[in-house]
Amino acid sequence: MSWEQELRAAYRTPNDLVQAGLLSPEEVIQAGKVSLKYQFLLPQYYANLIDKKDPHCPIRLQAIPSFEELESRIEEMKDPLQDLQHQPIQRITHRYQNRALFHLTPNCSMYCRFCFRKTLLNELKPSLFSGTWKEAFQYLRQTPEVSEVIFSGGDPLMVGDEVLRKVLEELEAIAHLKRVRFHTRVPVTFPSRVTLELSESLSSTRFHPVVVTHFNHPKEVTLETRRGLELLKKRTVLLNQSVLLRRVNDSIDTLVELSEKLFEAGVLPYYLHQLDPSIGTGHFFVAEGEGQRIWEGMKSRLPGYLVPRYVKDIVGIPYKSSV
């Protein structure tokens, strides 16, 4: 089956999950209410990693809508990193002086329940994604201080291979650009998309691309994901960024195992990210003190190169801050 066919076969409504034995008829009512506000998509591959007997399965918590998404807390925001206030033109976020985010597509292989761009991919989608790529290229051409383009959420690897090549060719022609980086959950949630053709497309220009995967739990590092990472690591620099998530990976054992498995798969742990305060994600929040305790524990059990930096975004500071 091609990845396009697999995508068509993904679960798209909570009712699909009842048939798959992942939700009870009682639970589906609440999940249905959540999916009216925040879209739902779950590839069968990722759904198959869910332990049906465990209501707190870390894969389930990341993938299946929960009523907790409808509870908002006072500190939560629709656009916690102020993407829209740092938007010189639609599809571009220019927050850091020499790096600009390019939002190629609002599509993702799965809609992660913890996503900090949750509102920007739903209610505020037109504000970020209405502009054309042409205008985005024009902005990058006219902004010489930008040396790196970071393709960020939605998921850039949901764009087809030929189109990705063309996007990279456009950027290659801009002399002041030195690097391109892709932030993606595709190798984690939808590894069949990671093909030889994709890795050739990513590396088809003068750039030596950086791919930052977003693995959060060791259960996500499977034979299928390793096959995809094998293809990517021949042509790209592979790093991983995890988000610290309550009940998913807020334990020393889990994160130590994740770092070890990533290293075996050829990926270096780069960031452990404090969750940004986005509306609908508060149930995943881990207090910084607890995060510090976990991170210290990781340091005592891993060599330095397998300990990711524990960081957070602070609005107004033009780089990631250590927690």
Q: Using CB under 6 A, pick the residue from 3, 111, 270, 271 that binds ligand SF4.
A: 111
Task: State the nearest-atom distance from the C-beta of 178 to ligand SF4, in Å.
Answer: 25
Residue 311 has phi, psi (to 5 degrees) of: -135, 165
Let me know the angle formed at the C-alpha of 240 by 236 and 246, rounded to the nearest 5 degrees: 160
Nearer to ligand SF4, 269 or 302 (CB): 269
Nearer to ligand SF4, 158 or 255 (CB): 158
| CA pair distance 218, 64, nearest whole angstrom | 18
154 binds ligand SF4 (CB under 6 A): yes
Task: State the nearest-atom distance from the C-beta of 158 to ligand SF4, in Å.
Answer: 9
Q: Using CB under 6 A, pick the residue from 115, 128, 248, 298 that binds ligand SF4.
A: 115
Report the Cα 280 to chain-centroid distance in Å. 16
Q: Which of 228, 216, 212, 234 is nearest to 150 (CA)?
A: 212
Q: Are 13 and 3 in contact (CB under 8 A)?
A: no
155 binds ligand SF4 (CB under 6 A): yes
159 binds ligand SF4 (CB under 6 A): no
Nearer to ligand SF4, 112 or 231 (CB): 112
Per CB under 6 A, which region of 106-114, 198-206, 256-264, 274-282 contacts ligand SF4?
Answer: 106-114
Q: Which of 231, 238, 251, 176 is nearest to 206 (CA)?
A: 176
Q: Using CB under 6 A, pick the residue from 58, 65, 153, 280 that binds ligand SF4.
A: 153
Nearer to ligand SF4, 91 or 117 (CB): 117
| CA pair distance 113, 37, nearest whole angstrom | 12
Per CB under 6 A, which region of 12-20, 152-160, 244-252, 293-301 contacts ligand SF4?
Answer: 152-160
Rg (CA), the chain: 19
Per CB under 6 A, which region of 46-54, 112-120, 131-139, 269-277 contacts ligand SF4?
Answer: 112-120
Which amino acid is residue 73, in one-letter code? R
Q: Are 288 and 282 in contact (CB under 8 A)?
A: no
187 binds ligand SF4 (CB under 6 A): no
Which amino acid is residue 257, in one-letter code? E
| CA pair distance 208, 216, nearest whole angstrom | 25
Nearer to ligand SF4, 116 or 256 (CB): 116
Residue 89 has phi, psi (to 5 degrees) of: -155, 150
Q: Are 215 and 188 in contact (CB under 8 A)?
A: yes
Residue sitting closest to ligand SF4 (CB): 153
117 binds ligand SF4 (CB under 6 A): yes
185 binds ligand SF4 (CB under 6 A): yes
Residues at the interface with ligand SF4 (CB under 6 A): 108, 111-112, 115, 117, 153-155, 185
